[in-house]
A and B are shown apart, each in its own frame.
Chain A
Amino acid sequence: MTIETLELDIRGQVCPSCLLLTLREVNNHHVALSEGRAILTVLVDSRDATSTIPAAVKNMGLAAQLDKIEDYYRVVIARPEERP
């Protein structure tokens, strides 16, 4: 099975638009994400979003992995079994 990699770059945006836009993207692809057919990578530079996004997607039955990439953060969202 091919896993589709989706990317959402919301660096430079205001809070809580980062979380709202991420939730919209997760909702749009929720079936593919929860069936393991897709992984969503979110790029953020808001420190707030580094805690709110993982907590919110966990409540939606998904898992998130947070990593710092240079001067911003990457949140990889997938179903718990696919957690990178």
Chain B
Amino acid sequence: MEASALIALITALAVGLAAGFFMHRSDFCLAGAFRDLFLFRDGRRLRALMLLVTASAVLFELARVMGALPSYPFPWFAPPAATNLIGGCLFGIGMVLAGGCVVGVLYKMGGGSLPAVVAFLGLLAGSALYAEIHPAWSQIAKASAWHDRAVTLPQLTGVAPGWWAAGLAIAGGWLCWRWWRQGLWRGPVQQAEGYLPLWLTALVLAGLGLLSVLGTGMPMGVTTSYAKFAAFIEKIIAPGHVAELTYFTAQPIRYTLPYGGPQLAGGGGPVLDVVALIQFPLIAGIILGALISALRLGEFRPRWRMPGRQVLMIFTGGVIMALGSRMTPGCNVWHLMGGVPLLTIQSLLFLAGLLPGAWLGGRLLLRLTTS
């Protein structure tokens, strides 16, 4: 294996391990951040997300100014399209019904949650379903693209990224400072064993995001791998059909790792390519990090006690979330922790769709849980 590939693999694994551990300890659920605001007027996690975005914007900009960013903007971000908005909305509905986002499902699985396993299976099913509609959806995405060059707001406006980052840092920093003055960063009075405050995990995740960019060239992201897992399984059951699906056979990604080496190809198909090189260790790390945390606390105890209706809701949520992530494309972690700090227009549209989606998901959840 090339040294650059080894660096990327080890970085992704280390980032995943730390992220999984901290997210489990704080229950840093990004689906909960939006859901709880709408359902319970509880903004604890959303405030932590705001801190994470602000800290990430500062770190990414400092790295860019110092010439440490392998690329700007990050690879795989494209000019915006209306499909970013639609995908974000579906993703928001799905993540609330599934009880966690694509990364939340991973750390919860590592912590021993069987509902998260159901959501994971739903994500695989949804990813396989997307492969069936990919050709048609690609046409819609092309037709709805509203700019052919600008990827970020700085590029669109011609205003230097530093000014945007400074504005984000001042606005976000001011809000975080106000919340600190109001005592809103204090953790719960009674805490689960080993609890780590949300603000601490937010700052750790911002640091891990930068580490991921320095080692692999891109922020944390996992969703293409869900499609790959689905493709690996489907290939066993129906190899002929998989071979006919464009989404599973195409290798549209061309990527050179930050520390050199040949240009690598990647895609959503059942192949060990550059996507697998970066995302598989990250996924394994998140699950393992959470597993270590749960085992150390003596809390790893899977229990199958969900009512049938809940199983159906979680699975359907996983399917909808996977469809949303492929249609956008990207997930909330990719967009909120990687794209929004750089003011990527795709990510801002995804966020604009995610908000009403999470609200709608909350209404559905309320009806399904309490009726």
List residues of A whose CB falls within 8 A of some B CB: 9-17, 19-21, 24, 45-48, 50-52, 54-56, 64-66, 68, 70-73
Distance (whole angstroms) from the CB of B307 to the closest CB of chain A = 8
Interface status of B61 (Cβ within 8 A of chain A): no
Q: Is the CB of B190 within 8 A of A20?
A: no
Stretch of B31-39, B70-78, B86-94, B342-350 at the chain-chain interface: B31-39
Contact across chains for B191 and A48 when beta carbons are under 8 A apart: no
Does A16 lie within 8 Å of B36, measured CB to CB?
yes
Nearest neighbor of B99 in chain A, beta-carbon distance: A14
Contact indicator B369/A71 (Cβ below 8 Å): no
Contact of A52 among B42, B115, B306 (CB under 8 A): B42
- Given the interface contacts A14-B310, A52-B42, does A21 sit within 8 Å of B369 by beta carbon? yes
Distance to closest chain A CB from B279 (angstroms): 25
> Which chain B residues border A48 with CB–CB below 8 Å?
27, 29, 32
Task: Decide if B190 touches A51 in the complex (CB within 8 Å).
Answer: yes
Question: Which of B132-140, B177-185, B249-257, B293-301 lies at the binding interface?
Answer: B293-301
| Interface of A, helix, strand, loop or mixed by DSSP | mixed
Instruction: Return the CB mask of B38-81 against A: 1 if under 8 Å, else 0.
Output: 01101000000000000000000000000000000000000000
- In the complex, which residues of chain B have a beta carbon less than 8 angstroms from the beta carbon of A11? 303, 305
Summarize B's interface: helix, strand, loop or mixed.
loop
Q: Give the residue name and chain of the B residue nearest to A21 (CB).
A: B369
**With A16-B35, A16-B36, A56-B40 given, is the CB distance from A45 to B303 under 8 Å?**
yes
Of B32, B192, B302, B369, the contact of A73 (CB 8 Å cutoff):
B192
Least CB distance, A17 to chain B, in whole angstroms: 5
- State in angstroms the CA–CA spacing of A47 and B35 once bound together: 17
Q: Number of B residues whose C-beta is below 8 Å from A? A: 39
Find chain B residues with CB under 8 A from A47 CB. 24, 27, 111, 192, 195, 299
Q: What chain B residues lie within 8 Å of A45 (beta carbons)?
A: 112, 299, 301, 303
- Asked whether A20 lies within 8 Å of B314 as measured between CB atoms, the reply is no
Partner of A50, one of B36, B192, B302, B369: B192
Given contacts A16-B36, A56-B40, contact A68 B193 (CB under 8 A): yes
Distance (whole angstroms) from the CB of B234 to the closest CB of chain A: 27
> With contacts A52-B40, A71-B300 known, is A20 near B369, CB below 8 A?
yes
- Give, as a whole number of angstroms, the nearest-CB distance from B94 to chain A: 13
B189 in the interface, Cβ–Cβ < 8 Å? yes
Contact A19 B40 (CB under 8 A): yes
A65 touches B190 (CB 8 A): yes
